[in-house]
């Protein structure tokens, strides 16, 4: 409110949200009480009742759904908050791990286990990360639901479980490596989104491609070769078999499966960015648009009529806020 919003306004980020649908009591009742996505049969019935054509009614429902979406300003402020947090926590993690003997020699993660002292810096690192992911977990239910809601929900559950489980079982050394590795790509992603909201398309594309490289290298390369290698093999060699080992590794492998899924989406978007010269629209976009949105007034079934029934005449503005591509909204 006091930092991100003034920055957004200074960068001329659009403050208004999507175009509001014109008031209509009948359509509003259907939208709130029956369905937000009317089928063909219901559309035809509404068309006869209102003397609107089907396309105009579809446009009204689309704009009414979009009306509940956050504005560009809101999304910029959210991205700026996340960028600030990720940059801070990643910097903190790097500074902490620079002094840690297990950064370059992962076998040090298991020396003296489980009697490893819990240092105050490590405790703080864990508590801040866990608090942040709990906040993401809860806010996901009040934010706009995206197409990958289930995947993100699974990710948050696995992440919170991993952080908590590794803290309780004192597997915190390898936990710090995992946390720092994951935060690296998130910093670049949020920067790319902020650049996009500021309409800096070239900078946004460059940052998104940088994010794609960092994400794939860190999560398909370093993560399995560095983290999974030490938890699957070095941990077993050092300490033998015990129940926590299997639970911990199962959660880490699930995380790797999610990495593969997101890498596929990122490579797909990066390919479109290279082939078309700009980052393509996110497949999970939370705003709907259509090629018929250039029409600004519901068309009556009578060619010369300009007045709608139910006293709802007036302009049905286009959602010009939607034009243009977008970078990936969430990883």
Query: Which domains are present in the chain?
Result: 19-68 (1.10.10.60), 72-284 (no CATH)
Per-residue pLDDT at 282: 47
Q: Lowest-pLDDT range, 18-22, 193-197, 248-252?
A: 18-22
CA distance 57 to 182: 45
Q: Specify the residue for token string 């050394």.
A: 173
Per-residue pLDDT at 13: 85
Kindly report the average pLDDT of the chain as a whole number: 82
Per-residue pLDDT at 65: 81
Per-residue pLDDT at 37: 83
Mean pLDDT, residues 68-72: 78
Per-residue pLDDT at 111: 93
Per-residue pLDDT at 17: 64
Tell me the pLDDT band of 294, cut-offs 50, 70 and 90.
very low
Mean pLDDT, residues 140-149: 72
Torsion region of 52: left, alpha or beta (phi above 0 gives left; psi -120 to 50 gives alpha)? beta
Per-residue pLDDT at 94: 97
Q: Which of 64, 54, 58 is nearest to 25 (CA)?
A: 64
């Amino acid at each position: 409110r006091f930092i991100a919003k003034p920055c957004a306004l200074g960068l001329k980020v659009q403050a208004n949200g999507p175009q509001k649908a014109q008031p209509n009591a009948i359509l509003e009742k259907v939208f709130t009480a029956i369905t937000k996505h009317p089928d063909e049969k219901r559309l035809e019935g509404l068309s006869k009742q209102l003397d609107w054509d089907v396309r105009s009614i579809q446009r009204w429902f689309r704009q009414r759904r979009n009306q509940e979406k956050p504005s560009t300003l809101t999304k910029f402020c959210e991205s700026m908050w996340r960028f600030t947090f990720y940059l801070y926590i990643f910097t903190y993690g790097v500074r902490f791990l620079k002094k840690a003997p297990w950064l370059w020699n992962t076998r040090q993660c298991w020396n003296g286990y489980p009697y490893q002292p819990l240092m105050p810096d490590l405790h703080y690192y864990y508590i801040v990360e866990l608090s942040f992911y709990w906040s993401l977990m809860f806010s996901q239910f009040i934010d706009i639901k995206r197409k990958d809601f289930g995947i993100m929900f699974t990710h948050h559950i696995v992440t919170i479980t991993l952080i908590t489980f590794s803290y309780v079982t004192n597997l915190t050394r390898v936990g710090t490596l995992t946390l720092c590795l994951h935060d690296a790509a998130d910093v670049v992603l949020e920067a790319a989104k902020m650049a996009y909201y500021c309409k800096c398309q070239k900078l946004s594309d460059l940052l998104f491609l940088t994010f794609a490289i960092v994400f794939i290298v860190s999560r398909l390369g370093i993560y399995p070769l560095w983290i999974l290698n030490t938890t699957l093999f070095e941990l077993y060699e050092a300490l033998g078999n015990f129940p926590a080992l299997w639970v911990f590794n199962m959660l880490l492998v699930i995380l790797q499966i999610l990495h593969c899924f997101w890498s596929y989406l990122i490579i797909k978007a990066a390919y479109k960015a290279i082939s078309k010269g700009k980052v393509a629209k996110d497949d999970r976009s939370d705003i709907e648009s259509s090629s018929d949105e250039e029409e600004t007034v519901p068309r009556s079934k009578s060619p010369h009529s300009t007045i709608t029934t139910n006293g709802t005449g007036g302009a049905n503005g286009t959602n010009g806020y939607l034009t243009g591509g977008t970078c990936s909204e969430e990883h």
